[in-house]
Amino acid sequence: MRRLPVVLTAATAAAIAVSLAGCSSSGAGRLEAALRDDAATAARAAGFISQEQGLTDPADATNAYARRIASPLARTGVWAQSDSGWIPGNPDWTESLRLVAIEPFADAEWDEPVGALTLASRLHIVSEGREDDYCVRVEFDRWGVSGDPEGVACPDPLTTLTAPADTRPIIPDGAEELAIAALTDAGDATASEIAERLTAALGPLTGGVALAQVQVVRDGDRIGLAMSDVRGCLLVRADDEGVERLSVPAVLLQPGELGCRADTALLPDESFRPPH
């Protein structure tokens, strides 16, 4: 059967446009729903901290999420919509979400939410000639965002926060080269003297960041050196064949395995074969 073409009159098109506009929420409701979606996306992008060292305390874990979410928040916000053909646009828009509260759950157990972040945006409701603030609260456990973001009352006063700096010890840039030089020029120095020399060469660090501990063991002319932080492990060995940085599968450097320790560097190479 042949289908007849559908012809829209101006009145019909206008009616459809009004209907479509009514189906999508307008004003603050549309903006708030979009911001909750943005908050969920940013929270997922913040990832999870369950495999990181030094974040066993709920406050440390929540602060880590506050640092991680900063970059995703820059990509949030609702744009005004331009007219498209016979479908009317929407002049209402919002600013990007920003961090306004960090709420650790002090007594949280390992498998419970560790804390929450509150995010805020300024709503520009041009269609109604007004502006307003809107806040969204997101909870996190150690495996990432927990549950759906919820609209909440904004803190008073409403102040943008900067997440606390990560002060966990780090292996600074250039540590490998300095560690190799320290073992190359070790001479008759004891293990503790080598560790002290390298520590002095690497530090002090700025911004309240601590230097990862330098561990050294010595067995005659064989010297093992290790440094570890949340990003990885530095293992260096010196023996009669020279000085080298060791490449060890990450799984073998975990607690309960070989570990990132100075005496690990003195193990025979066959000890570093990845498990099957």
Q: Does the residue 161 lie in any domain?
A: no
Residue 1 lies in a domain: no
- Cβ atoms of 120 and 178 within 8 Å: the answer is no
Residue 168 lies in a domain: no
* Residue 15 binned pLDDT confidence (cut-offs 50, 70, 90): very low
Both tokens of 179, joined, read 């560690």
Same domain (yes/no): 132, 227: no
Q: What pLDDT is recorded for position 4?
A: 41
Q: Do 33 and 127 have their domain in common?
A: yes
Residue 115 in domain: yes
pLDDT score of 94: 97
What is the pLDDT averaged over residues 182-198? 97
User: Above 80 in pLDDT, residue 58?
Assistant: yes
Q: Do 193 and 144 share a structural domain?
A: no
SS (H, E, C) 56-83: CCHHHHHHHHHHHCHHHHCCCCCCCECC
Longest alpha-carbon distance in the chain = 98
Residue-level pLDDT at 26: 58
Final residue belonging to a domain, choices 118, 152, 186: 152
- Alpha-carbon span 276 to 254, nearest angstrom: 16
| Closest-CA residue to 136 (of 78, 64, 60, 61) | 78
Q: Which domain holds residue 130?
A: 11-82+89-152
**pTM (2 d.p.):** 0.70
- Give the count of domains, the chain: 2
Query: Which of the residue ranges 64-73, 149-158, 224-233 would you say has the lowest mean pLDDT?
Result: 224-233
Residues 110 and 243 in one domain: no
Please check whether residue 45 lies inside any domain of the structure. Answer: yes
**Is there a domain that residue 3 lies in?**
no
Q: Verify that 124 and 24 share a domain, yes or no.
A: yes
What pLDDT score does 34 carry? 97
Helix (H, G, I), strand (E, B) or coil at 154: coil
For residues 181 and 131, state if they share a domain.
Answer: no
Residue-level pLDDT at 141: 97
One domain for residues 22 and 132: yes
In a domain, 36, yes or no: yes
Residues 24 and 137 in one domain: yes
Cα(97)–Cα(160) distance, rounded to whole angstroms?
Answer: 10
Among the residue ranges 44-53, 98-107, 147-156, the one predicted with the least confidence is 44-53
Asked which of 152, 185, 207 is the last residue of a domain, the reply is 152
Q: What is each CA distance from 274 to 170, 218, 253, 258, in whole angstroms?
A: 26, 26, 11, 12
Q: What is the pLDDT of residue 184?
A: 97
Of 165 and 162, the structure prediction assigns the larger pLDDT to 162
Name the band, by pLDDT with cuts 50, 70 and 90, for residue 6.
Answer: very low
Verify that 242 and 124 share a domain, yes or no: no
- The answer on 18 and 137 residing in a single domain is yes
Is the separation of the CB atoms in 58 and 104 below 8 Å?
yes
Q: In this predicted structure, what is the pLDDT of residue 276? A: 59
Helix axes of 191-202 and 175-184: crossing angle, nearest 10 degrees: 140
Q: How far is CA 83 from the centre of its chain?
A: 38
Judgement on whether residues 189 and 136 belong to the same structural domain of the protein = no
Q: Which residue has the tokens 């759906």?
A: 148
pLDDT confidence bin for 12, thresholds 50/70/90: very low
Do residues 20 and 140 share a domain? yes
Q: What is the mean pLDDT of residues 249-262?
A: 86
- Count of Cβ atoms closer than 10 Å to residue 83 Cβ: 10
Q: What is the pLDDT of residues 191-243, one digit of tens each?
A: 999 999 999 999 888 777 889 999 999 999 999 999 998 888 999 999 999 99
38 lies in a domain?
Answer: yes
SS3 label, residue 87: strand
Q: What is the mean pLDDT of residues 127-131?
A: 94
What pLDDT is attached to residue 25? 47
